[in-house]
Each structure stands twice: as C-alpha cells, then as structure tokens.
Chain A
Amino acid sequence: MDYLTSSDFLFLTGTSLLKTFFLIFAVVLPMVSYTVYAERRVSALIQDRLGPNRTGFPLSLIPGVKNDWSPILGGLGQPVADAVKFLLKEDFVPAHVNKFYFWIAPALSMMPALVTLAAIPFGSTILNVPMVVANINVGLLFMFAISSVSVYGIVIAGWSSNSKYPFLGGIRSSSQMISYELGMGLSAVPVLLIAGSTSLPRIVEFQIQNGWLLFPYSNGHFGFAKTLLWIPVIIAFVTFTISMFAETNRLPFDLPESETELVAGYHTEYSSMKFALFFLGEYTAMIAGCSLIVVLFFGGYHFPGIPNGDAHGGLPILRHIPGTIWGIVNITVFFGKVAALLFVFIWVRWTLPRFRFDQLMKLGWLYLFEIALVNIFLTAGILAFTH
C-alpha cells in the first residue's frame, strides 16, 4: 500500500502513460495512416502510375483562409480524407452474422498489434526515463505471445460473418499461423543465444557494444568470432523476415485476405470503422513487426557515432551536446529504420505474387522450420567454438 502512494510509483505510472500516449497517438497511428499512403504511392510508382497526388488539406473550410494548402509532393492530405470517409460510411451489420463475435473481432485484430508495441525499446533514454513502455525481461516472448493473438481476430471475423469467403479466409489464417509460427520462434533463437537475453532493451545494448547483429563491424571493431557468427545471423534474418511477412498477413502470404479469390477474405462483410480497424490492425502489426526486426537485427535505436540519451557512447565531440537531444535523435533513428523496413515490406508486396496455400504450408513446415532448427545448432556450435 505504501508503494502505491509513493512518488516512485506515481512517477512510473505518469511516465508510462506519457510514453504510451506519445507512442500510439503521436508516432504509430500517424505512421500507420502514412504507411497506407506510402503503400498507394509506391505501388503506383512501381506500376508506372502516379497514385494519390492531389489531396491537400482543406484549409479553405476555415473562414478567412482562401487557398487549400497542398504540399509540394501533393496527396499528403489523403490519409485525412480516408479517415473522414471511413467515419462517414454506413456501419452496416448484416442480419445473418453472429453479432457478439462480429463486433469483437475488429478489436481483437487491432489490440494485440498495439499491445506488442509496449515491449519495443523505441529510444534510449530522455531525462533518465528509458524509452520503452514495459521494460520486461521476457520482451521477445511477450511479443511472440501477444502478436499471435491477432490471428483470433481474423478467425473470429471469418467465422462470425457466416458467409463462405470470410470463412475460407479465417480457415486459411489459422492454418497459415501454425505453419509459420514455429519457424519464426526458432529463427529468433540464434539472436537470443548471441545476445544472451530475451529482454529487448538488453539485446539492443548488446548490439551497441558488439556491433549490430546484421552489420557486425558497426562498432568499428573487427573480430573472427563476429565474422563467423555473421553466417547464422544472416540465415536467421532471412527466415525471420519471411516469417514476419506471414505473421503480418502481407503479400506474398496474404492468404486470409487474398482479394483476387476471396473478395476481401475475412473482412468481406465488414464496413466503415470496423473495416478500418482491421486495416489499422494490419498496418500496426506491420510496424510492430518491423520494430522487432530492427531491434533484433539492426541495432534498435543505435546509429554508429551518435551518443545515447545520457550522452554516453558515440563520438566524443558529440557528447558535449545535452543528452535529451540525443534521446530524441535516437527515437528518430529508430523510426527511420522502421520506415525503411516498411518500404521493403511494400516493395515486396508489389513485386511478388501470392503463394498458393499448400506452398505456404510446405515452406513453413519443410523449409523455414528445418533451416531455423539447424541454424540454432550452428550458432550454438560457433559460440561454443569461439569462446
């Protein structure tokens, strides 16, 4: 009881709430809407089109302002227009659905994606407050456990819609999950072996000291053991990324949605904000997945030469500038890396065709699983050999 009224507890609660609000409302949700915009623009450019390049911000609705503001690139107002459109659409619930599950499914697909973000260290420290909402020592397991829950949203949506195409989408989703989940979990184990911890901030700190896992020389030191470990790390990275594509239902593994064969898959019967929640959930899951890849393989918020939030590490000259600024720079670096990975996700989507159902299961069970399993022993062998 004393602890609940102590200033430590209030400080922890207050900073956690601030971090949560900052992360969700200032970073992730705007990022989601602009990822949708980027998806449309990049897909258009890849297909030799232009994409939405007109919508500005309707400032002329405000009395006294004459011109709409359309930024140089154009179309940057598109996410706002999309959101308004979603809000104004009729929220139609078909008569034949199972109402309770039909209503709960969109929330179930959105919530896990947001919850997983809690364990992500998205920055070093600002004023000695670590930039991670929940600094738990099983961060990676937490991510795996919670992100798998989002498949329930899809399965329940498919089942409760009481219609054949959503049903097929839901079924595909569940079987897709059991195919890739093993490979994904196992392909992250080499990272845990090397870093020696499942805590995500710990993994990042390890990479700051010993170089990013995928770019082992980023701390400026060369080493035989590091170079040898590069091989299993690259294998782990490729298998993990492929599994992450499956986890986030992105092409080439968007079997639950597969708009060319199943109308819109599991969210065929949904409209308005309920559909938008699925949409947001998919893109939030993408951001959470990209954040996890960044944390595990790309050194998290670290950039060679830039100090931490407490003005330690990095180039000596830069340590004179106050740590708060570097804390903000670290957050920017982290989300810059995430944005770059999001671009790769989009790029892959508009390059590859969809896998067939049996091909995905074969890939998950016969290749990713085995490769990840062998990779664990390879990593363990190299670690035992070099220590």
Chain B
Amino acid sequence: MATYVVPRPNLTWKEKMYLPAIVAGMMITIKHLKRMLMGETKVVMQYPEEKWDSHMPEHYRGAPTLVTDDHGRERCVACQLCEFICPPRAITITPEEIPAESKFAKVEKRPKEFEIDMIRCIYCGLCEEVCPEQAIFLRKDYAITGTTRAEMKHDKAKLYELGGVMDGLVHKWNPKK
C-alpha cells in the first residue's frame, strides 16, 4: 500500500501564537450571542406555544381514530380485522347487533365498545391499512398524554371525538369509481 506523507503546513509566527485565532473564534461566538439577543436568529421553536402542526404532511401517522361518514353514521362495522392485525394488540372491540328498528339495520354489526390502548399503540398504521370500511384513520394528534393508565385507554367516544367526519366514498370495494 502506497503511503502518502501529508506535508505539515508552515505556520507563520502569528499563527503559531494562536492568540489571534482564539480572538477571531471568540468574535464569531459573540456574534452568534448578539444575534440571538437581538432576535435576528430564529431557530428554536417554543414547543407548547409553537407547534409543527401546520407543517405536517397529510400522511402523518398520529393517533389512530374512528371516523363517521358524511351522513353522521359510524363507518366501523366491527369486523375486528384491525384488532387481529394490531401488532402490539392495542385494540379491543366488542361487537353488537344493530337493532332492527334502526335506519341502518342492514349494516348488521357495529362496535359496542372500541378501545385503543395508547400505551401499547406503536403508530404503525396497519389498522388503517387493513380496514375494509375506511373507518379507522391515523390522524395528526401526536401528544397523547395522561396521568393514569385508564386515561390512556381511548374509548369509542374519545376515538370519534378525535376522528371527526371523513367525507368521500369507500373506494376499496368499488374500484370503477
């Protein structure tokens, strides 16, 4: 292997003293300090007051939520596919029959209780991918906090509150549209 001897630079006496270089370096740092004090540098985002929310892309994977369609009907039919695919088993669904007198009786099933344990959830998005009814979506909420374990378990009401309304048709079973 060929070796290459890197030539040492010949320093002038000024460079050998180091002090001018040190002073130059200190001038650079004080300039940064001055710019921060004058408010000319704006790098830091003050978290609770300023957030990334407006910069988030549409496909951001935040907390999983349930959505209703434009008629106000819940899309979830309690097929439990998301419960089965969920890698950390965060989802627990209790299905129930829709009563015959209901307007949507032909849908046959709905979740009686839908729980997502946000301590277990890993935000992988498999539930959204697997859902045949496009009822579960990962929305942009990322700061899910709570003071108790019970609080961190999102129930059906909480999930619909976070999810809101999702317009549009379910294209999955109707590829021509």
CA of A351 to CA of B28, assembled, Å: 8
List of A residues within 8 angstroms of B171 by Cβ: none
Could you tell me which A residues sit within 8 Å of B by CB distance? Answer: 42, 45-50, 238, 347-348, 350-352
The reply to whether B26 and A47 contact each other, CB–CB distance below 8 Å, is no
List of B residues within 8 angstroms of A50 by Cβ: 36, 44, 46
Scan B12-37; emit 1 where CB is below 8 A from any A CB, else 0.
00000001001001101110110111
The total of interchain contacts (Cβ-Cβ below 8 angstroms) comes to 37
Nearest CB in chain B: distance from A344 CB, A:
9
CA of A351 to CA of B29, assembled, Å: 6
The reply to whether B32 and A46 contact each other, CB–CB distance below 8 Å, is yes
Could you tell me which B residues sit within 8 Å of A by CB distance? Answer: 19, 22, 25-26, 28-30, 32-33, 35-37, 41, 43-44, 46
List of A residues within 8 angstroms of B30 by Cβ: 46, 347
The reply to whether B25 and A352 contact each other, CB–CB distance below 8 Å, is yes
The reply to whether A45 and B25 contact each other, CB–CB distance below 8 Å, is no
List of B residues within 8 angstroms of A47 by Cβ: 32
CA of A48 to CA of B32, assembled, Å: 7
List of A residues within 8 angstroms of B46 by Cβ: 50
Q: List 13 A-B contacts (CB under 8 A).
A: A42-B33, A45-B33, A46-B29, A46-B33, A46-B36, A48-B35, A48-B41, A49-B44, A50-B44, A347-B26, A348-B26, A350-B29, A351-B25
CA of A46 to CA of B33, assembled, Å: 5
Nearest CB in chain A: distance from B121 CB, A:
29
CA of A47 to CA of B41, assembled, Å: 11
CA of A48 to CA of B44, assembled, Å: 8
List of B residues within 8 angstroms of A348 by Cβ: 22, 26
Q: Which 7 pairs, one residue from A and one from B, show the smallest C-beta to C-beta distance?
A: A45-B36, A351-B29, A45-B33, A46-B29, A351-B25, A351-B26, A50-B44
Nearest CB in chain A: distance from B10 CB, A:
19
Most chain A Cβ neighbours within 10 Å, of B19, B25, B36, B46: B36
The reply to whether A351 and B22 contact each other, CB–CB distance below 8 Å, is yes
CA of A157 to CA of B25, assembled, Å: 34
CA of A50 to CA of B19, assembled, Å: 29
Q: Given A46-B36, A47-B32, A50-B44, 12 other A-B contacts at CB below 8 A?
A: A46-B30, A48-B32, A48-B36, A48-B41, A49-B43, A50-B36, A347-B29, A347-B30, A347-B33, A348-B22, A352-B22, A352-B25
CA of A179 to CA of B37, assembled, Å: 39
CA of A348 to CA of B30, assembled, Å: 10
Q: Which residue of chain A is the closest to B21 with respect to CB atoms?
A: A352
